[in-house]
Amino acid sequence: MPTNHFNPATSSIALARQFSNPSDVFSVLLILGGDVVVKAIAQLAGSRTTPVAFSFGWVAYSITALMGVLGENRLMSATDYPCKVINARNGYVRENSSWVIGRLVRDFDWWMDGGRLDGPIRKRVRELLSEQQAVLKASGPPLRAGLCISVYKAREARPGYPGYDLAYFAGFGTAAIQLALATIPFGLYGNWAILLVTGIGIALSFVTGAVPRWAEEKWACRRQSDKITILSRGNGSQHAIVIIGDGKGLDLEDLAAPNSAPSSSPISKFIALALASFWILLLITAAGIEQNTWFLLAIGSIGILHNIYVAGVSRSPEHFGVPLDFVTVIGHRKVMEALFEVETMYPRVGKSMLATFFPGNLRQDEIDRWNELDQLAKEKEESKLPCVTAKQVV
């Protein structure tokens, strides 16, 4: 007679065994989440120590980094927040590719006015919204109104500065907690394999983030720039950020260019290959651990939570090596009037934004006004030119 293999208890036993000691789960998770890791490194990279926690996704990231160095000639993540970079002298508009500039624009609502709720920029935005609400006779304030142009002057740039804030120092605390967890199975059961994997993983994480190539790509631009640059989301955005280089800042137009870092050296390629090999070896080692694997999952979970926090946290320009001093704010319920006003105060700056915020045809009175302002700008520029005497010409 045929044997009956129907046994519902088989599944229960298998699931109980898996949840008591999850097998191969940690090694699988190591190859997922590489995009979170690369963003966390992009946030903190710069110095010789980059405290990005050991977590899920590092193996996937190491392979992606190797392909990037060998193929695309880049380690640094492209910006995750699109914006425009405008040269205030000639109006040339460049789509931003820089992680640093993208985060400056993304986090502007957080760092403007130094985080104060009663600062001049927030106050001017509230006034614009109230004016627009009154004109529309709406029951509540609109989402945006007109254009608010904030003017900053650059202080001495600090390329290579990782930003010593909570996001930076949290990496060391996370590593300490992970090591403490890894010592528990060693102390209770003599299982030193988890402590070994955790220690090597933390060391590899810190070393991978400290590769000099990261800083080269993060601040791949000229220094001590006197350019006036405008950062904006483009037409329809509430804010535009004017940054006066003043001979101290970074060349933000240069920084925004795609892949402007020098070509990867053979040493950089070798380092990327070596690190990817070490991560794969760590993956193989982790796959062989069959006891107390919940500790490994807890260690990896703490690490990925830290990396998610670092990848998404808002930071000020100073933490990206771009310290700025606030100068003034110019805003108007009508965007054209805001451009007229900023052009009056800063010749060429308003005109350089015109094509971005008004890509279509202008009215005749607007054309006449811009011609008038353009003539005034030329007169100011000519008055600043040095006089050339006959003796100098000879």
CB 351 within 8 A of CB 377: yes
The CA distance from 351 to 307, in Å, is 42
Q: Which of 218, 208, 156 is nearest to 48 (CA)?
A: 208
Question: DSSP secondary-structure letter at 70?
Answer: I
Q: What is the pLDDT of residue 373?
A: 93
Q: Which of 211, 297, 261, 218 is nearest to 24 (CA)?
A: 297
Q: What is the pLDDT of residue 11?
A: 52
CB 151 within 8 A of CB 245: no
Q: What is the pLDDT of residue 4?
A: 59
DSSP track, 164-190: -SHHHHHHHHHHHHHHHHHHHHHHHH-
Q: What is the pLDDT of residue 390?
A: 37
CB 115 within 8 A of CB 129: no
**Residue with the two structure tokens 């199975």:** 185
Q: What is the pLDDT of residue 268?
A: 81
The pTM score is: 0.87
**Count of residues in the chain:** 394
Mean pLDDT per 10-residue segment, the chain (394 residues): 57 54 58 83 90 89 87 81 93 94 96 92 94 85 90 94 92 96 93 93 92 88 94 94 95 86 76 92 85 86 93 95 96 95 94 93 93 91 59 37
Q: What is the pLDDT of residue 3?
A: 56
